[in-house]
Amino acid sequence: MSAIRSRVEVGGGAESGLSRVDVTSKDHHYAVHVGPGARRLLPAVLEELGVGRVAVVTAVREPRLPDPGVPFTVVPVADGEHHKTLATVETYCRAFVAAGLTRADAVVACGGGTTTDTVGLAAALYHRGIKVVHLPTTLLAQVDASVGGKTAVNLPEGKNLVGAYWQPSAVLCDTDFLHGLSRRELLSGYGEIARCAFIGAGDLRGLGLREQIVASVRLKASVVARDERDQGVRHLLNYGHTLAHAVERATDYTWRHGEAVAAGTVFAGLLAGRLGRIGTDRVTLHREMVESFGLPTWRPADVPVPVLVELMRRDKKGRDTDTGLTFVLDGPDGAELVTGVDERLVASVLADLPTGPAPAAAPGAP
């Protein structure tokens, strides 16, 4: 185990070494390693897991792709929300057959959140479950998507509607991967970091990027430890996501996930305010938090409010028996799941949210 042990300096701000966050759920335990060069732990991780060969699903090329240290096959990635489909899962599984993967082998997913979500689902299904190691290459994937075991693909009817819980065996968040990202891609990750302030991580604005990643992963690990399968407290991680998923779907994913989460966070603050759950200062903090990361505080101008409401009705947090919509909302005791929110109120608060262009078309967008 010593080969993959890294210095634990969570929140410590040390300049060298890697930070390690442990994720423990009922049946699983794994480490998330964060820092420059974390990808180089891959051979030691695979050796520790005792796998014979791997399929590496990736668009990343040498030298940034680490040598896994065991026989491997590179499977070309189909990246992006439009490829997050059951058809892509089938393509990957067929590639795993061609690579000769058995249940004793493993898959490595190297890419953004859509890659770790889709490859994670393929790993959950192939031979009824094969180990997967994530090497997230975007900020969004490092702070959220690659950790916690949620895997899913989209249907034409909505986002993440088909999936499984399948925990990775390790996550290597190599911050070197983030250097080449566009500003917009980085901002998308900041959408998930911004919403952490309202679900227990505190204000992360003053921290360096690596510390922000570690704090987000720590928060997620603490939530997943208590509720791996979304039966209760894990709903908190969906702060801002009810509107976000509707915005992504309604704009055909022109809005990136983190951008939509940012708008959803501002909306969640406004809605909590209208319900009398929080005061105006706290409502304002939602907007300021999002704004300070340079993220959109508006909803798409070209999507009518009733379309967003209809899409939000399909949210997975809702149940058949619920009347009204379901949101995670801030309140006197912190954020919690709130059911039965009147659709007319939701529509009225949405109407109050300013409208604006898709972030790519916003002035100054990269």
What residue ranges bind ligand GLY (CB under 6 A)? 144, 148, 150, 234, 237-238
Most distant CA atoms of the chain, gap in Å: 59
CB of 8 to ligand GLY, least distance (A): 23
The residue of the chain with the least Cβ separation from ligand GLY equals 237
Q: Which is nearer to ligand GLY, 99 or 223 (CB)?
A: 223
Alpha helices by DSSP H, the chain: 42-49, 86-98, 113-125, 139-140, 183-195, 209-226, 241-250, 257-274, 280-292, 305-313, 343-352
Q: Which is nearer to ligand GLY, 159 or 210 (CB)?
A: 159
Amino acid at 343: E
Q: Which of 138, 147, 134 is nearest to 186 (CA)?
A: 138
Token pair of 344, please?
A: 């007319």
Token pair of 20, please?
A: 């390690």
CB of 161 to ligand GLY, least distance (A): 15
CB of 365 to ligand GLY, least distance (A): 25
Q: In whole angstroms, give the CA distance from residue 239 to residue 106.
A: 32
CB of 65 to ligand GLY, least distance (A): 26
CB of 196 to ligand GLY, least distance (A): 12
Total residue count of the chain as it appears in this document:
366
Q: Mapping DSSP to helix (H, G, I), strand (E, B) and coil, where does residue 166 land?
A: coil
Q: In whole angstroms, give the CA distance from residue 121 to residue 269.
A: 33
Q: Which is nearer to ligand GLY, 56 or 223 (CB)?
A: 223
CB of 276 to ligand GLY, least distance (A): 27
DSSP secondary structure string for all residues of 185-204: HHHHHHHHHHHGGGTTS---
Instruction: Give whole-number Cα distances, 166 to 28, 29, 98, 144, in Å.
Output: 10, 12, 23, 15
**Dihedral angle, C-alpha 117, 118, 124, 128, nearest 10 °:** 170
Q: For the chain, what percentages of helix, strand and coil (3-state, to nearest 5) are there?
A: 45, 20, 35
Q: Which is nearer to ligand GLY, 149 or 296 (CB)?
A: 149
Spell out the SS3 assignment of 49-71: HCCCCEEEEECCCCCCCCCCCCC
Token pair of 79, please?
A: 């990246």
Q: Which is nearer to ligand GLY, 144 or 211 (CB)?
A: 144
Q: Which is nearer to ligand GLY, 51 or 152 (CB)?
A: 152
CB of 104 to ligand GLY, least distance (A): 28
Q: Which is nearer to ligand GLY, 167 or 297 (CB)?
A: 167
CB of 93 to ligand GLY, least distance (A): 23
CB of 238 to ligand GLY, least distance (A): 6
